[in-house]
């Protein structure tokens, strides 16, 4: 690894404790039922799961906030939950993790998003979702806007965590982005395909290769396709940068006008990429909030993602784990400019 970048990242990590970030988006409650299967139902050809234990975790934008907190940053979450038991549980979990819940608005007009996963013998049998994807109505939108402005008073920037559940919409989004950029705050986005080209002029977007390929209308099967689609999207979005995550292949950072940096994965084993996107965007935001560049942010996020994909299910990493990865795994960085690669 480039020695100067190694030192820069080490220094950046020491400033994470003073970072302040806002997460705006769709919070969810992830519910798990674990059990075993020893028979097929006589009612239908489906397995009968004998449930042995249950558990709940923060999901969606709430998991992004948890990732920021795990990295030592201060974070405020702005979102909406239903006036139901799941909403109470979600807000309680936020408080239990040391995360403020005053920006999470309770409404009787929509349910809390809940994803229930039934798992037997380490295999997910089925997932049941309770949700609405309808956009929040005007009065609720104004409450979210007010909570956003309040949360941003002492924050360096905002993470927009869009899971397509209606919190992020065409009315709120331009107001959020315009205010942040006009007030020298960064905006980093984990985009939903349906809103992809509404995220114009942001600091960076972090789509995975499936999402980037979908909006571009082609699959990113090789490096040439990644390069072509990445620069096309960067130009269409007018963003400061674009960071495409490539799973076990690492990441590709695009910066105008024609700079591409490819970063190979540092994970020696890949068990589960669930939640890795949340870790990536949280780490990028922490780096930017700590005064880092996008190159430093991308490399640090790659190290962070390399830690969580070694675990099964959503998980978080820490500054200590990233620092250990910096010291132990000297992965190379390749810079590509105008189609010519250099080590």
In the predicted structure, residue 141 carries a pLDDT above the cut 90: yes
* Closest by CA position to 273, among listed 208, 195, 194: 208
Q: What's the pLDDT score for residue 343?
A: 42
What is the per-residue pLDDT for 3?
Answer: 61
Is the confidence at residue 180, as pLDDT, over 70? yes
Confidence of residue 330 (pLDDT cuts 50, 70, 90): very low
Question: Residue 115: pLDDT above 60?
Answer: yes
Q: What is the pLDDT of residues 277-324, one digit of tens each?
A: 899 999 999 999 999 999 999 999 988 887 765 444 445 788 888 888
Q: Please confirm, yes or no, whether 240 is among the known catalytic residues.
A: no
Q: List CB contacts of 315: < 8 A, sequence separation 6 or more.
A: 275, 308
Q: Which candidate, 61, 91, 65, places its Cα nearest to that of 155?
A: 65
pLDDT (average), residues 123-135: 95
Please tell me whether the overall predicted TM-score, pTM, comes out greater than 0.75 for this model.
yes
Residue range 163-189: average pLDDT? 96
Tokens 């107001």, residue located: 175
Model pLDDT, residue 266: 67
Quote the pLDDT of residue 273: 46
Task: Round the average pLDDT of the chain to a whole number and report it.
Answer: 89
Cis status of the peptide bond prior to 257, with omega within 30 of 0: yes
Q: Given the residues 26, 101, 240, 278, select the one marked as catalytic.
A: 278
Q: Please state the rounded mean pLDDT for residues 117-138.
A: 95
Give residue-wise pLDDT tens across range 66-110.
999 999 999 999 999 999 999 999 999 999 999 999 999 999 999
**Domain boundaries, given as residue ranges, for the chain:** 3-29+59-113+130-342
CATH of 3-29+59-113+130-342 among 3.40.30.20, 3.40.109.10, 3.40.1190.20, 3.10.180.10: 3.40.1190.20
CB 41 within 8 A of CB 28: no
Q: Which two tokens stand for residue 33?
A: 């039922």
User: Which of 128-132, 146-150, 183-187, 300-304 shows the lowest mean pLDDT across its residues?
Assistant: 300-304
């Amino acid at each position: 690894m480039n020695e100067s970048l190694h030192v820069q990242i080490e220094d950046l990590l020491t400033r994470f404790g003073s970072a302040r970030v806002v997460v705006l988006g769709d919070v969810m409650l992830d519910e798990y039922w674990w059990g075993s299967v020893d028979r097929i139902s006589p009612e239908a050809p489906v397995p009968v799961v004998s449930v042995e234990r249950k558990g709940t975790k923060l999901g969606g934008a709430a998991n992004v906030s948890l990732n920021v907190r795990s990295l030592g940053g201060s974070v405020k979450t702005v979102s909406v939950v239903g006036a139901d038991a799941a909403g109470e549980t979600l807000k309680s979990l936020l408080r239990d993790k040391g995360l403020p819940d005053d920006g999470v608005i309770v409404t009787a007009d929509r349910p809390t998003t809940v994803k229930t996963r039934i798992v037997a013998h380490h295999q997910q049998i089925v997932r049941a979702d309770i949700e609405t994807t309808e956009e929040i109505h005007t009065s609720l939108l104004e409450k979210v806007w007010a909570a956003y402005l309040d949360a941003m008073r002492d924050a360096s920037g905002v993470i927009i965590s869009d899971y397509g559940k209606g919190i992020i919409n065409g009315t709120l989004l331009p107001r959020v982005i315009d205010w942040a950029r006009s007030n020298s705050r960064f905006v980093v986005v984990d985009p939903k395909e349906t809103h992809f080209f509404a995220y114009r002029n942001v600091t960076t977007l972090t789509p995975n290769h499936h999402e980037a390929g979908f909006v571009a209308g082609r699959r990113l099967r090789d490096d040439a396709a990644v390069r072509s689609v990445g620069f096309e999207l960067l130009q269409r979005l007018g963003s400061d940068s674009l960071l495409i995550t490539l799973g076990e292949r690492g990441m590709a950072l695009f910066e105008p006008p024609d700079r591409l940096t490819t970063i190979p994965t540092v994970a020696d084993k890949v068990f589960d990429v669930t939640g890795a996107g949340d870790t990536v965007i949280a780490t990028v935001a922490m780096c930017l909030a700590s005064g880092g560049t996008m190159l430093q942010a991308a490399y640090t996020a790659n190290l962070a993602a390399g830690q969580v994909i070694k675990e099964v299910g959503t998980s978080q990493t820490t500054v200590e784990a990233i620092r250990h990865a910096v010291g132990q795994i000297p992965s190379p960085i390749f810079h590509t400019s105008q189609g010519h690669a250099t080590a």
